[in-house]
Structure 1
Amino acid sequence: MSLRHGFKAEANRLAVQMRRELGLHPVSPLAPARLAEHLAIPVKTFSSAIAHDARIGLLLTGEREAVSALTVHAGARREIWVNDSHDPGRQNSSAHHEIAHALLMHPPGPALDPRGCRHWDGEIEEEANWLAGSLLITNEAAWSIVRRGTSPEEAMLQYGVSRQMLTWRMNMSGARGRRIQSAS
């Protein structure tokens, strides 16, 4: 599945715009909690819900990988729930993915289809994935990482991302190519 023409540039502009609204530079890291607070979207963790419903504990033990994050809708209000048994980089990515759905005004849909299988809209999920990556590391941030010669470990720590996300954003932003070009 491919994104509509111009979406990738639009996503980066939106990620930069969110930073500006928060008084941040386009290359600054953007914690999902800060953006969620700015958007008035509460972010909660699965472990905080265990006291209210022991079934949530299954998501943190035997079914740890089943759900990374989800958005609960109550009318026009949203709450984001993040699986805090995952590593911090994945939690940040998952939270930004859910925030991306809100920023893109994706309509809420059923979690499960009539057969009890997970409902999946590939186009909406691909848009949220792309915007989440841009919220984590804008194109400008990726290019800055290359210009400064920041090591992958430093960049991962600075931006709160996994190695997989860092590699993906460096590739998708064109920063990796800029590094190769600048070395020749």
Structure 2
Amino acid sequence: MSTNSLSFAFRQRCESIATEQRYLLKKLAFDPLPAIDLANILGAHLQSTEQIGIDVDALNELMGAQNWSAMLFGANPPMIIYRPDHSLARLESDLMHELAHILLKHPYGRYDPATGKISKNSQHEHEADYLGSCLQIPRRGMQWAAQLGLTIDQTALHFCASTQMVEWRSRMTGIRLL
């Protein structure tokens, strides 16, 4: 995840959004925030590829990649289709990324008939990466983990995140964990 193109003000805004969403769900900064809970208050529907019977190979072609985990469709209400065969930590991260697009009011990607793929705005992708990471592990949650002396593994388990996500949030916040 690159943050070079993200301003300090934007990064601060993301932390505020993450805090606000937890507040709306009556959660503390150090409480885990399951993506399904956030999706519910945003009115987004989460559906696995199995639930809706979509051919994963066809979606791989449409996405132009084999390694996608979730995608947002511009329906009213919004719908996020996800692959249930990825780890729970990856799924949470990817769902938070898609929910971040909704919170940031990003326009949906457009189908490009010339390439047969969905086009994406790289700046919007970086922004959703950053906000998604804040939603999953807010700065205050990192501070809490550090104060308790939690390890990276313990913090990852608590927030249903990968150790890579915890390490990345540690670098982004400057908060060191054991």
TM-score range, shorter chain: 0.7 to 0.9
* Native 8 Å contact 1:47 1:57 kept in 2: no
Q: 1:148, 1:165 → 2: CA distance?
A: 19
Gaps of 5+ in 2: none
> What is the SS of the residue equivalent to 2:78?
strand
Partner of 1:97: 97
1:44 aligns with 2:35: no
Alignment of structure 1 residues 85-124 onto 2, 5 Å: 85-112=85-112, 114-124=114-124
Partner of 2:36: 33
1:166 aligns with 2:169: no
Report the count of equivalent residues: 172
* Native 8 Å contact 2:109 2:118 kept in 1: no
Amino acid at match of 1:19: R
Partner of 2:16: 13
Amino acid at match of 1:72: F
> What is the SS of the residue equivalent to 2:26?
coil
Q: 2:98, 2:126 → 1: CA distance?
A: 12
Identity %: 26
Which of the pair has more CA radius of gyration? 1
Deviations 1:70-108 (A, max 9, x none): 01112x420011111111100000000000000000011
Partner of 1:71: 72
Given the two structures, how large is their TM-score scaled by the length of structure 2? 0.87
* Native 8 Å contact 2:110 2:120 kept in 1: no
